[in-house]
Structure 1
């Protein structure tokens, strides 16, 4: 791959996919899917050009992977929401790499509206969800469209497992 930024992005997407598949128990010790046909398998998506469908598919989430130094979270969240719509998934989130830290410590940014929907599906009050998944809240001005919740990728894996286990979204 001749473009170093593309190679860096692909490596981050693959690391996210591999981490979630391992954490969710979807692969064996060698990293092979236990059930290759399962819709629960986390996969990297093929690029779709103008109608991009996100970087990583982890039903019910589209994950937009970002391996950059400077964060632009509200912009990224708008992108993830559009890409989730293109893919026919209910939720779009962003996974931002934390320099020098393991993949489990990547930061998953979730729009407040999505966080509220997730809590509703799980029947989790605000404080319970925040404590259970280590959520922190960011409010950017008075425009609530710029507000978001952040959790570590390891905590997001637990959230994903809980949503799938509760059959909250299918």
Structure 2
């Protein structure tokens, strides 16, 4: 007998993966990879138990996907950071599904330190990043570990493309 919550989470992970692969032009109209061996392909990761490596690998990010009614963003961000470390990826984010909205409006949350690393890798001042990617800042109390930055999944696809482009220039 299947677990409905697990099925819901798996469906959201697959939706995020498919949305990013389409947005990045990595698949044909039927959803097949243009280059199945490409490291740029966005893939769902196998579950690893206690040393989980995140739900989706889209280098340089590990994505932790959440399809729940009540958000716990700071906790999720800490989980994503640990999973990125387990997988050996430099960055992590959490993708939270918005009820009754399309995939592109999903909310992608970053720790402030991750957001700063992203901006620095792109050589982008705060104001430019906010305008370009529609970033919203959430500050909860004086504990900075509970602060985070949010963009849409559609904007994240653009951000991911920009980061990958910047990395290719550096190589």
Which of the five TM-score ranges fits, normalised by the shorter chain? over 0.9
Number of aligned residue pairs: 170
- In 1, the alpha carbon distance for the partners of 2:113 and 2:165 equals 22
2:9 paired with 1:9 = yes
Deviations 1:70-93 (A, max 9, x none): 000000000000000000000111
> Equivalent residue of 1:109, what SS?
strand
1:110 alignment counterpart: 110
Deviation at 1:144, TM superposition (A): 1.1
TM-score computed with the length of structure 1 as normaliser: 0.98
> Equivalent residue of 2:17, what SS?
helix
- In 1, the alpha carbon distance for the partners of 2:128 and 2:79 equals 28
- In 2, the alpha carbon distance for the partners of 1:41 and 1:99 equals 27
Deviation at 1:143, TM superposition (A): 1.2
1:151 alignment counterpart: 151
The runs of at least 4 consecutive aligned structure 1 residues that moved more than 6 Å come to: none
Deviations 1:117-166 (A, max 9, x none): 10000000000000000000000111111110000000000000000011
Q: How does 1:1-170 map to 2 (within 5 A)?
A: 2-167=2-167
Gaps of 5+ in 1: none
Deviation at 1:9, TM superposition (A): 0.3
- In 1, the alpha carbon distance for the partners of 2:92 and 2:117 equals 12
TM-score computed with the length of structure 2 as normaliser: 0.97
- In 1, the alpha carbon distance for the partners of 2:145 and 2:74 equals 8
> Equivalent residue of 2:94, what SS?
strand
- In 2, the alpha carbon distance for the partners of 1:164 and 1:65 equals 21
- In 2, the alpha carbon distance for the partners of 1:69 and 1:47 equals 23
